[in-house]
Structure 1
Amino acid sequence: MGVALLGAYHALSDLPAQTAFIRFLALSAFFLLSVSLMIGPLAVFKSSFAPLIEPRRAVGIAAFVFAALHFLLVASLYFGFDFGQMVSMFPLAIAMLALVVLLILALTATDLAVAKMGFAKWKTLQRFVYPAYILIFAHFILKANGLFSRDGKPVALNAAEVALVLLGVAAVALQVAAFFEFRKRKAAPVHDKENNDSP
């Protein structure tokens, strides 16, 4: 639904078709990755979200596909695959680093990879999605078209970008909250045991 709304938003915009499609891919990738990272924390706080844990792997892979298509179009249409020039630009450099991480995570997002690596090592590898997400969020903010002025000139506020910034903030906040909730639950049995053992 979110991807469909983003598609409709850009289809109805007055942007050139090429620009609209490239932005649609970028925002869809960020939306899907944000959703995939919100599922786990939501399941921590409300068990009814637990059935979504398994499908989130597919959501994450879809996010990578959208991000990869976005990158390929930008690299070809705007830079002629001049990666040296792209790396020299900080917002693009961090995005490329994040994309490499997402590629590795997508390639290992299989039951076979879990069996080969062992669950503990696989889980450690998959946690690299968090720094990758921060890099992508930073890239998004730096390259946003409707959040800041360009060359001192005001630009129209982009509702889709604003909504996704709020979604990104919510995703990070949920991750932090779930981390502390998990630690609290993990420590609770020890605390209870100490209380039971006390005279």
Structure 2
Amino acid sequence: MRRRSLYYITHAVGNKIQITTVFIIFELALLLFRFIVSCFLISCMTLLGLLLSSDSGNKILLQITTLLTVIMFSLLLSEIMPPSSHAIPIITVYFMCVMIMPVVSVIASVLVLLLHFRNSKNYTMPLWPKESLVTRWKSDPFARGSYSYVAVGATGDDYDILGRPVEYPGDKIPRVYFAGEHTNRNYPATVHGSLLSGLREARRIADTFLGSIYEISAP
């Protein structure tokens, strides 16, 4: 199947008018099988490369092969395709998107493999994550939060009431346990109070359901 486009170019030569007829014939079969099907197959290869697991060992090879295929196909099309009036042709935008996807996939795969095979034997963890994240709330005197005063009209008994477990009438085992910064009367509204209340409720649950053989302490 062919598509024909007819253009008339009129210009004057002296006292005569010269009309030039230009026929542009598009082979739809050529356009379909050479361009559309090829672009579709390249897109499928790119998507399959994105879905392939990094542990398979062939993901990076497949994406690099796809990238080289896209580059070679774009070079061939640049010689075959007629010039376009658009500043950036649609086929150029397509190839840019298809080329970006394998590059991003390869970078992500390399990062995943680096994190997957990283262990204590070939990598030493620096001290700054442990120093910047406070993990010793109970033992570090500089990380116990800022102290605050009890609200006007309230006493420490109110904090004890808020931290008291809730029991259903007739049950011997509490159903709900409360912990938080407003359930500790010694360190109200502080992170340290939250930690101590959590340890307190953990001991209660352990004593109730597991017995007193389990010792729970803060890091």
TM-score (norm 1): 0.37
**RCO (CA 8 Å, sep 6+): is it higher in 1 or 2?**
1
Larger helix percent? 1
Larger strand percent? 2
Greater gyration radius: 2
